Structure 1
Amino acid sequence: MNAPLLKLEGVNTHIGPYHILHGVDLQVPRGQLTMLLGRNGAGKSTCLRTIMGLWQASKGKITFDGQDVTKKSTPDISQAGIAYVPENMGIFSDLTVRENMILAARGARSVEDIDQKRLEWIFSLFPAMKKFWEYPAGKLSGGQKQMLAVSRAIVEPRKLLLIDEPSKGLAPAIIANMISAFRELKQTDTTILLVEQNFNFAKQLGDTVAVMDNGKIVHRGLMAELAEDEALQTQLLGLSLNAHQ
């Protein structure tokens, strides 16, 4: 495996009286797409939010690109090169697609301030963004909103993308578009940590995989190896990946 860009060591997270993460150890290899799988309530979303500083780790260490970011603020973590796409997408519904993109680009006051070659590249990944450029984001379909959320995250080069269930509730054609876009993203220098419940999506995209259960990482390895081992899938996830083709 490549050297880790992101490393969690013994990370615990409490939310009020609830102890959600219990000593999470996780490595995200540089330049790869790591799938974070697990049953509902296993702690996957909490793990992403803790990495992003939205919830502070109560114990343990988070290292990103050689820097300890455990106690850093969310803006500082973003400035270090991490973008986060939450499950609720985090877009501004009352603003147009164009305005959402301008806000996501640091220091941009107009479209002209965005790298035009990068913007055209994003349009090639998600043609709907160009088509609905002046539409209010709240009027987009669910799939188009997800495309906008990912587009916002990549409007500037990022070292790491944290993406929470990008295929949730999407039609098969939109999921296929997402898979194609993430495959192209994998060809760039971007490292991706992706939470997903659609196991066929995970199998097609993942290089490495970590499985969470009850706030801990219970399995690490290559995605291809997990995809071929139905007994292990059932043990870790309750159902085989093939049941979710």
Structure 2
Amino acid sequence: MSTTTSPSKHLLELQGVHTHIGAYHILHGVDLVVPRGELTLLLGRNGAGKTTTLRTIMGLWQASQGSLRFDGRDISRLHTPQIAGLNIAYVPENMGIFADLTVKENMLLAARQARTVAQIDEARLQWIFGLFPAVQKFWNHPAGKLSGGQKQMLAVSRAIVEPRQLLIIDEPSKGLAPVMINNMIDAFAQLKASGVTILLVEQNIHFAKRLGDSVAVMDNGRVVHAGRMAELAADEALQRSLLGLAL
């Protein structure tokens, strides 16, 4: 009798992850799951360890203990280029765009399968232009001349210029005007609907409540709460105990 193994419902799983940066012990046994096809939010006060968790997932900092599994594969000891090669895209808080290059050149650099703009999937590019019209509008402009919101849209566009299984983004709404935040929410809703699994660090509560399926709350380098975003959004007492404020 033959048996087949079905993929785990969790695309990404962290178990007991510790991270040291120099003499500092930042993560103290992080347990985190990111369900397939959902948008998972990582919330917490400043300094809770959220960004360190993302950087550890991407191999920018090596976990000193614990396991990280992506799509069933142990990635704990892989280097960042190998992790990115597994169809994981990461948008850091500083956005990681090249200010001296044009928007077009930034996009081409991110499209690993293309040597010229003509080789970028045209249908995908038009889809991105629909999500973020500013990317098309400023196609030939230096990226450094864009506004903060436009740079954030370019950073996300670079991350999705090729199909990705997992999109990891650190505070996409930081510093954005409310109208830009609503545009970003709409774009992420479309991304999620297309089947992309998303892990977001986010401080904007409106953003979190509108988009989140599941949520993990961090404090002092640990996940102290995990569950459905709708349940956290409905429980003000829990919000106050975890985050020090009501959503």
Give 1:77's aligned residue. 83
2:18 paired residue number: 12
Aligned to 1:207: 213
Q: What's the offset of the Cα at 1:113?
A: 1.3
Q: Which amino acid aligns with 1:167?
A: S
User: Normalising to structure 2: TM-score of the pair?
Assistant: 0.96
Counterpart among 54, 57, 69 of residue 60 in structure 2: 54
Secondary structure of 1:189 counterpart: coil
2:115 to 84, 89, 109: 109
1:234 aligns with 2:232: no
Match of 1:189 in 2: 195
Render the CA deviation track for 1:105-142: whole Å, top value 9, x for unaligned.
01322111111100000000000100000000000000
Structure 1: 5+ residue stretches without partners? none
2:158 pairs, out of 143, 152, 163, with 152
Deviations 1:35-73 (A, max 9, x none): 000000000000000000000000000000011000101
Distance in structure 2 (CA, Å) of the matches to 1:122 and 1:87 = 21
Provide the aligned C-alpha RMSD in A.
Answer: 0.7
Percent of residue pairs bearing the same amino acid type: 73
Task: Specify the code of the residue in structure 1 equivalent to 2:141.
Answer: Y
How far apart are residue 189 of structure 1 and its match? 1.8
| Code of the aligned partner of 1:190 | V
Structure 2: any 5+ residue segments left out of the alignment?
1-7
Within-5 A mapping of 1:122-141: 122-141=128-147
TM (normalized to structure 1)? 0.97
User: 2: distance between equivalents of 1:189 and 1:203?
Assistant: 20
The number of equivalent residue pairs is: 240
SS in 2 for 1:100: helix
SS in 2 for 1:119: helix
Corresponding position of 1:220:
226
Structure 1 residue 218: Cα displacement = 0.3
User: 2:35 matched to 1:29?
Assistant: yes
2:177 equivalent to 1:171: yes
Shift of 1:200: 1.1
Mapping of residues 62-101 of structure 1, within 5 Å:
62-101=68-107
Measure, in 2, the Cα distance between the counterparts of 1:114 and 1:52.
Answer: 25
Letter in 2 for 1:154: I
Provide, for residues 127-159 of structure 1, a one-character-per-residue CA deviation record: whole Å limited to 9, x for no partner.
010000000000000000000000000000000
Shift of 1:74: 0.4
Aligned to 1:121: 127
Q: Secondary structure of 2:95's partner? A: coil
Q: Distance in 2 between matches of 1:170 and 1:50?
A: 26
SS at match of 1:148: helix
